[in-house]
Chain A
Amino acid sequence: MADTGRQTLPLSFTVNGTHYEIEVEPHELLLDVIRKRLGLTGAKRSCDVQVCGACTLLLDGRPVSSCTLPAFEARDKDVLTIEGMAQDGKLHPIQEAFIEYGGFQCGFCTPGMILTAKTLLDENPNPTEEDVIEYMNGNICRCTGYKKIVESIMGVGKPNAEAS
């Protein structure tokens, strides 16, 4: 069944509200399409084995590791990246909370942290600290800034009493 011509697949999908019709080869990964072809570099390639969460994107609202997901899996789906969180120039409340509570150090894991926090809060608007720790355990912060990240997620929509 040798086939010398390279196969392409139509990929019709929405990214951060914008509709795209492109063609991809079966082996192209969603992370590469988003970063290299659409120029959205918020999602990072880090561990490349679905462990760290730096490449997290939301596919129809569900978190996926885009480093190991073929782009064709996004057919007819809505992709949300960190670039799509702010609306009309206004940051999303989760982004505001990460600033308010200092939920990052180097920032490399932050896009994945914020997108995963969004699915957590969409599922469970009032999580306990334990819920947050348990839900977020697949997103790794190599700076180990976990305490502030948990405080940020717990603090969404609430002013930080300790902030000067």
Chain B
Amino acid sequence: MLRPFRLEEPESVKEASEALARYGDSAKVYAGGTELLLAMKEGLVHFECLVNVKKIPGLDEVRRDNGSLRIGALSTHRELERSETLADALPVLVEMEHNVANLRVREVGTLGGNLTFAEPHADPGTLLLALDATVVAQKAGGEREIPMNEFFVDAYEAAIEEDEVLTEIVVPVPGANAAVRYRKFGYLERPSAGVALHVMADDARRSVRDVRVAVGCVGPKSMRVEEAEAVLRGKSLDEAANAMAEAGDIAGRAADAISDLHGSAEYKEHIVKVLLTRAFNDIRAELAG
């Protein structure tokens, strides 16, 4: 049962921001609604007004801009899954998007909506953390860039102001000697654990020049685990393989796992380690190939 609300339909980001500022915390951006409307139907939240940003032109494009991909925040998961630009430059994002929720949710839900809602059991944020992505937030008075590792504040809470609209996700294209994987596990509709690993190898592809480890779903928010990265950085790929158990233990502990329907905290910590090791093994094979 959805309680009545008012709909505002601005045609520019400025108008949207002004509407959001006018309503304050009694309004919310509507960018697909696959998460928001579920929470509203359950009566968990109510907003007097939804600001439909989907009539604003130009927020659903994907384009390559030098070494980065700029993804319009209103791109649906399905559009990203089928984007040739992404398939070419960032296949790991296409694979992740292909496995988000189900077909119908992917047809309607948008990447910007997914990130802003900050549902802990979600896939994109974790991968975007490992890719060093940033998001662009705009409001009537200007715009700012927010690095992904400052974006998630807590469960259902992102670092976006009341009158800001997330407009773009900017993802640096991984280098020639880099490989990235996102691995998840779950038996419910939403993922129970998600792990992203981004290994930047040296030119000879023998050692880990730099690395990103991100964990999601198991705790209140997706996060980068720099302590786990430190264990792997600078090691040869062989040494890194031997250090995966330690890195996985650190990542599991750092992720702030909670016990819930998806499993106990201890179980989730173990799964994080397993997924991280599998991601590394796949990356190693890719770098060797």
Contact = CB atoms under 8 A, between A and B. Distances in A.
B41 interface: yes
Contacts of A22: none
A29 B5 CA distance: 12
A26 B104 contact: no
Contacts of A119: 103
Nearest to B24: A1
A1 B49 contact: yes
Contacts of A51: 102, 189
Contacts, number: 69
Nearest to A59: B107
- Chain A interface residue number, banded: 20 to 34
Given A1-B22, A29-B2, A72 B7 contact: yes
A138 B189 CA distance: 9
Interface string B45-58: 00011100000000
Contacts of B34: 50, 68
B38 A3 contact: no
B108 interface: yes
B146 interface: no
Contacts of A49: 38, 189
A28 B2 CA distance: 8
Contacts of A29: 2
Contacts of A135: 103
A53 B104 contact: yes
Given A3-B6, A26-B4, A26-B6, A138 B38 contact: no
Nearest to A68: B37
Interface residues of B, number: 26
B26 to A, nearest CB: 8
Given A1-B48, A72-B7, A27 B2 contact: yes
Contact of A64 (B22, B23, B107): B107
Interface string A51-82: 10100100000111100111011000000000
B59 to A, nearest CB: 16
B107 A50 contact: no
Contact of A26 (B7, B102, B103, B105): B7
Contacts of A25: 4
Contacts of A2: 48
Contact of A63 (B3, B4, B104): B104
A7 B41 CA distance: 19
A48 interface: yes
A116 B104 CA distance: 9
A26 B50 contact: yes
Contacts of A53: 102, 104
Interface in A5-60: 6-7, 9, 25-29, 48-51, 53, 56
B33 interface: yes
Contacts of A28: 2
B133 to A, nearest CB: 26
Contacts of A62: 78, 107
A144 interface: no
A137 interface: yes
A68 B5 contact: no
26 contacts: A1-B22, A2-B48, A6-B4, A26-B6, A26-B50, A27-B2, A27-B5, A29-B2, A50-B34, A50-B101, A50-B102, A50-B104, A51-B102, A56-B104, A62-B78, A62-B107, A63-B103, A65-B105, A68-B37, A68-B38, A68-B41, A69-B108, A70-B33, A119-B103, A137-B102, A138-B103
Given A64-B108, A138-B104, 17 more contacts: A1-B22, A1-B26, A2-B48, A53-B102, A63-B107, A64-B104, A64-B107, A65-B105, A68-B33, A68-B34, A68-B37, A68-B41, A69-B37, A70-B33, A72-B7, A119-B103, A137-B102
When A and B form their complex, which 8 residue pairs have the shortest distance between CB atoms, in order from nearest? A138-B102, A26-B7, A27-B2, A65-B104, A51-B189, A138-B103, A27-B4, A62-B107
